[in-house]
């Protein structure tokens, strides 16, 4: 089988290597989290497919690297045009594959996919490399040279959006790419390959291999011809990738999980704070940036909790294709069991369930009730480990010092959100928080110009804007003497 029809859209289930569709002897089943149906049988790549894809990327590299930046940018805009043309198809296929809300895919996520491509195309032509400077009359010229084949390994929670954060700057910079999407969500990567071909991207510049991380993924990151590896996913996988990359000294960019805090001070607008807290259930809690630890000042904890539970109770759980749905299913039965395991162990250890607390029995399947737990100890598993489901904890603090201490007492450092009505407090607190991104009285305001990444176990390196080009390029400084032309 080489093709599946998913929600009325034809999807090729093979790899995309060197501008051709390539099958594998074995396939794996792709299951929709909405109803548990098998929607496709996908080529299961291994070492041979990984090698072939890297070889194709290597062969295409010299010509693509030599393609003038304006032409590379034009082609990326053409890919973005293709995404916009097929936006509705990409949205319904992604929803079928990962269960996230169709309305978000239609109005937020897929437009961002096109924007990712346009943004890095424009950055390449308009903003990169205008930084010559002088040293005692000598001219320093900094250039961002393409590095070579890049392996991009991506997760299932926002498949095409997160992939194009990496694909766009890697290609804009003149690199070639091998993308390995998550095995739970292989479909939109395949549609995207079609779109790149339709846009005229030369063969081998963009390649997709499908399969399991431990198989084709491991083979890709071990390949000595790979010049960059960018990964988004879990900490254990990041460690395995880092070890393999270390053997070849391949530079890696790692975007990992989080256990981010939402600090609610007594001087905050509590309606806003409660809105921000409920927002953390987006994508059924499967967002690395989610502020899953709510920290509330003692004196307003009761009032805040009442406002929060009132809002959480209004969340409509159901089919992610319905416009009214606010929270859909989790990704996979294995993942749901993991999420529930965290909650049940927390309850056994003494946590109180304020909301939710288990699977949604009425809906069945992979729907987990939006959950809030209190009475949790700072050193407990539920406070320290990333659940990656619709599960929040609430703790209280007495003062600013305690708030910051609790917020920073984690091995992660991806993001933090502060709700306060006091500008000076905001300045003091944000300065002390350990996080790659801090929001004040807002959440998830994202701009590709900004650095994105995590501290501690939330990641290594930053991407976004110039940081992406710094990672995907060999940055070179050329110094020319004032009398250098003798």
Ligand X SMILES: NC(=O)C1=CN([C@@H]2O[C@H](COP(=O)(O)OP(=O)(O)OC[C@H]3O[C@@H](n4cnc5c(N)ncnc54)[C@H](O)[C@@H]3O)[C@@H](O)[C@H]2O)C=CC1
Ligand Y SMILES: O=C(O)/C=C/C=C(\O)C(=O)O
Residue 324 buriedness (CB in 10 A; 0-12 / 13-18 / 19+): exposed
CB of 211 to ligand X, least distance (A): 8
- What would the DSSP string read from start to end of 183-201? TTS-HHHHHHHHHHHHHTP
Residue 158 interacts with ligand Y (CB under 6 A): yes or no: yes
Among ligand Y, ligand X, none, what does residue 465 contact (CB within 5–8 Å per kind)? none
Residue 287 interacts with ligand Y (CB under 6 A): yes or no: yes
The question of whether 400 is a catalytic residue gets the answer: no
The one segment of 120-128, 156-164, 262-270, 458-466 that binds ligand Y by CB under 6 A: 156-164
Among ligand X, ligand Y, none, what does residue 234 contact (CB within 5–8 Å per kind)? ligand X
CB of 320 to ligand Y, least distance (A): 16
Complex with ligand Y: residue 92 or 448, whichever CB lies closer: 448
Among ligand X, ligand Y, none, what does residue 462 contact (CB within 5–8 Å per kind)? none
Among ligand X, ligand Y, none, what does residue 221 contact (CB within 5–8 Å per kind)? ligand X
Sorted by sequence, the CB contacts under 8 Å of residue 7 that are 6+ apart come out as: 92, 93, 95, 96
Residue 167 interacts with ligand Y (CB under 6 A): yes or no: no
SS3 15: strand
Dihedral Cα 434, 440, 442, 446, nearest 10 deg:
-60
Residue 232 interacts with ligand Y (CB under 6 A): yes or no: yes
Complex with ligand Y: residue 107 or 446, whichever CB lies closer: 446
Among ligand Y, ligand X, none, what does residue 90 contact (CB within 5–8 Å per kind)? none
- Exposure b/e, 333-356, CB count within 10 A at least 16 = b: eebbeebbebbeebbeeebebbbb
Residue 127 interacts with ligand Y (CB under 6 A): yes or no: no
Site residues for ligand Y, 443-472, by CB under 6 A, read 446
Please give the C-alpha separations between residue 363 and each of 35, 356, 437, in angstroms, as whole numbers.
Answer: 10, 14, 36
Interface contacts to ligand X, rule CB under 6 A:
153-157, 180, 182-183, 212-214, 217-218, 221, 232-234, 237, 240-241, 256-257, 288, 386, 388
CA–CA dist 106, 216 (Å, integer): 31
Tokens 């293709």 belong to residue: 82
Q: One of 255, 297, 386, 463 is an active-site residue; which one?
A: 255
Tell me the residue number closest to ligand Y, measured at CB: 288
Sign of the alpha-carbon torsion through 305, 307, 313, 316 = negative
Residues in contact with ligand Y, counted by CB under 6 A, come to a total of 9
- What would the DSSP string read from start to end of 101-139? -HHHIIIIIHHHHHHHHHHHHHIIIIITT---EEETTEE
Complex with ligand X: residue 249 or 324, whichever CB lies closer: 249
Complex with ligand X: residue 256 or 301, whichever CB lies closer: 256
Residue 387 interacts with ligand Y (CB under 6 A): yes or no: no
Residue 250 half-sphere exposure toward CB, CA atoms < 13 A: 27
CB of 178 to ligand X, least distance (A): 12
Angle at 456 between CA 452 and CA 462, to 5 degrees: 20
For residues 161 and 287, the answer to whether their CB atoms sit within 8 Å is no
Q: Which residues bind ligand Y (CB under 6 A)?
A: 157-158, 161-162, 232, 287-289, 446
Catalytic residue positions, numbered? 255
């Amino acid at each position: 089988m080489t093709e599946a029809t998913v929600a009325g859209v034809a999807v090729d289930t093979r790899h995309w290597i060197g501008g051709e569709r390539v099958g594998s002897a074995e396939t794996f089943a792709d299951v929709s989290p909405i109803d548990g149906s098998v929607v496709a049988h996908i080529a299961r790549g291994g070492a041979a497919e990984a090698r072939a894809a890297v070889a194709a990327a290597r062969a295409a590299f010299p010509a693509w690297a030599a393609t003038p930046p304006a032409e590379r940018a034009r082609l990326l805009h053409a890919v973005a045009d293709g995404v916009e043309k097929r936006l509705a198809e990409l949205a319904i296929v992604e929803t079928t594959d990962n269960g996230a809300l169709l309305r978000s895919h239609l109005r937020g996520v897929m437009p961002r996919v096109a924007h990712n491509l346009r943004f890095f195309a424009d950055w390449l032509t308009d903003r990169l490399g205008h930084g010559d400077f002088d040293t005692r009359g000598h001219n320093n010229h900094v250039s961002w040279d393409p590095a070579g084949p890049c392996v991009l390994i991506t997760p299932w929670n926002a498949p095409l959006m997160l992939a194009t954060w990496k694909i766009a700057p890697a290609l804009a910079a003149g690199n070639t790419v091998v993308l390995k999407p998550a095995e739970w969500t292989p479909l939109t990567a395949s549609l995207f390959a079609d779109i790149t071909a339709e846009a005229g991207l030369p063969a081998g510049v963009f390649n997709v291999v499908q399969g399991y991380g431990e198989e084709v993924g491991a083979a890709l990151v071990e390949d000595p011809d790979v010049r960059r590896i960018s990964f988004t996913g879990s900490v254990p996988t990041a460690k395995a990738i880092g070890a393999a990359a270390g053997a070849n000294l391949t530079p890696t960019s790692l975007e990992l999980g989080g256990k981010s805090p939402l600090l609610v001070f007594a001087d905050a607008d509590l309606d806003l704070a409660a809105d921000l807290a409920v927002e953390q259930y987006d994508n059924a809690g499967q967002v690395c940036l989610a502020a899953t630890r709510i920290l509330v000042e003692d004196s307003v904890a009761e009032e805040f909790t009442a406002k929060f539970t009132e809002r959480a109770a209004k969340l409509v759980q159901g089919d992610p294709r319905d416009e009214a749905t606010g929270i859909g299913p989790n990704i996979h039965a294995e993942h749901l069991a993991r999420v529930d395991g965290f909650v049940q162990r927390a309850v056994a250890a003494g946590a109180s369930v304020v909301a939710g607390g288990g699977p949604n029995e009425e809906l069945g399947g992979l729907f987990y009730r939006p959950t809030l737990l209190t009475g949790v100890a700072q050193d407990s598993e539920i406070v320290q480990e990333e659940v990656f489901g619709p599960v929040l904890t609430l703790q209280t603090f007495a003062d600013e010092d305690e708030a910051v201490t609790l917020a920073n007492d984690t091995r992660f450092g991806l993001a933090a959100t502060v709700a306060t009505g006091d500008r000076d407090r905001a300045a003091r607190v944000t300065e002390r928080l350990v996080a790659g991104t801090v929001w004040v009285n807002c959440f998830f305001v994202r701009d590709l110009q900004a650095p994105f990444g995590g501290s501690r176990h939330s990641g290594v390196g930053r991407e976004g804007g110039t940081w992406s080009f710094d990672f995907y390029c060999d940055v070179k400084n050329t110094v020319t003497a004032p009398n250098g032309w003798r």
